[in-house]
Amino acid sequence: AQSVAQPEDQVNVAEGNPLTVKCTYSVSGNPYLFWYVQYPNRGLQFLLKYITGDNLVKGSYGFEAEFNKSQTSFHLKKPSALVSDSALYFCAVRDTMNYGGSQGNLIFGKGTKLSVKP
Amino acid sequence: DVKVTQSSRYLVKRTGEKVFLECVQDMDHENMFWYRQDPGLGLRLIYFSYDVKMKEKGDIPEGYSVSREKKERFSLILESASTNQTSMYLCASSLGLMVGEQYFGPGTRLTVT
């Protein structure tokens, strides 16, 4: 069965330091991978996605993510964190081999709260 | 920009009431989704629709129903609200079912007392 794991409930980073939010996945076929961010009392905003091609994907607000097939990971990164990056981050996966009524559905991780201190 | 709007940001209802949550998207997307978000559980799919009048159950459809009479509108219905349905409800839409990212509304925080 397809699944997504975000092993850290919370990540704390000092402003200006690099940040990493971890995500690992399990699928039957090739994965389509997504990162979303949720600011307090708001809906989710799309950050970036990996479908195929270059393993390093660049997205909104200076974020990037690296697809690693051998480690089944898709970690979110940013070279220099801002206080305004503090939010809840969700990784999601879509299994290209998952046929049937649920084909195309996104499976979300439980979320990682990022806290960036000045 | 894609815009997904939800009828209410905050809603308080009593146990047993029938509750309607409405979602409208303005980008002609075929696919629409309803999720609930609970702390520590992430997002869980309730129902989705890939065309007008079409609907598919997600992971937690019990206690909910949906309606999609027009392409831009997807309604979530709680036939008889219960306290365990207190949650944040998020609507989303997407263009492509496989490669397309989903665009989310601001959410409705529903409290059932």
For residue range A12-59, list pLDDT tens digits in order: 999 999 999 999 999 888 889 999 999 987 889 999 999 988 999 999
pLDDT confidence band for B2 (50 / 70 / 90): low
**Contact criterion met (CB below 8 Å) for A78 and A90:** no
3-class DSSP state for residue B78? Answer: strand
| Interchain CB contact of B62 with A (< 8 Å) | no
pLDDT at residue A103 is higher than 80: no
C-alpha to C-alpha distance for A7 and B73, rounded to whole angstroms: 36
CATH code of residue A37: 2.60.40.10
What distance in Å separates the CA atoms of residue A71 and residue A114, rounded to the nearest whole number?
Answer: 23
How many domains does one find in chain A?
A: 1
Phi, psi of B84 (to 5 degrees): -75, 0
Chain B: give the shortest CA distance to residue A109, in Å.
6
When pLDDT is averaged across residues B104-108 and rounded to a whole number, the result is: 95
Do B85 and B18 touch, CB atoms closer than 8 A? no
CATH class, domain B4-112, is: mainly beta
Contact B42/A109, CB-based, under 8 Å? yes
Neighbours of B5 (CB within 10 A): 12
How high is the pLDDT of residue A106? 86
The CA distance from A61 to B110, in Å, is 31
Any A CB within 8 A of B93 CB: no
For residue A45, give both structure tokens: 């905003």
- Give A68's pLDDT tier (boundaries 50, 70, 90): very high
Strand, helix or coil for residue A18:
coil
**Number of H-type helices and E-type strands within chain B:** 0, 11
pLDDT digits (tens, 9 = 90+) for B27-42: 899 999 999 999 888 8
The range of the structural domain enclosing residue A86 comes to 3-117
pLDDT tens digits along B62-98 = 999 999 999 999 999 999 999 999 999 999 998 876 7
User: How many whole angstroms separate alpha carbon A40 and alpha carbon A43?
Assistant: 8
Answer yes or no: do B98 and A104 touch at CB < 8 A: yes
Give the length of chain A. Answer: 118
Residue-wise pLDDT tens digits, A15-24: 999 999 999 9
Q: How far apart are CA B59 and CA B49, in angstroms?
A: 14
pLDDT of residue A98: 57
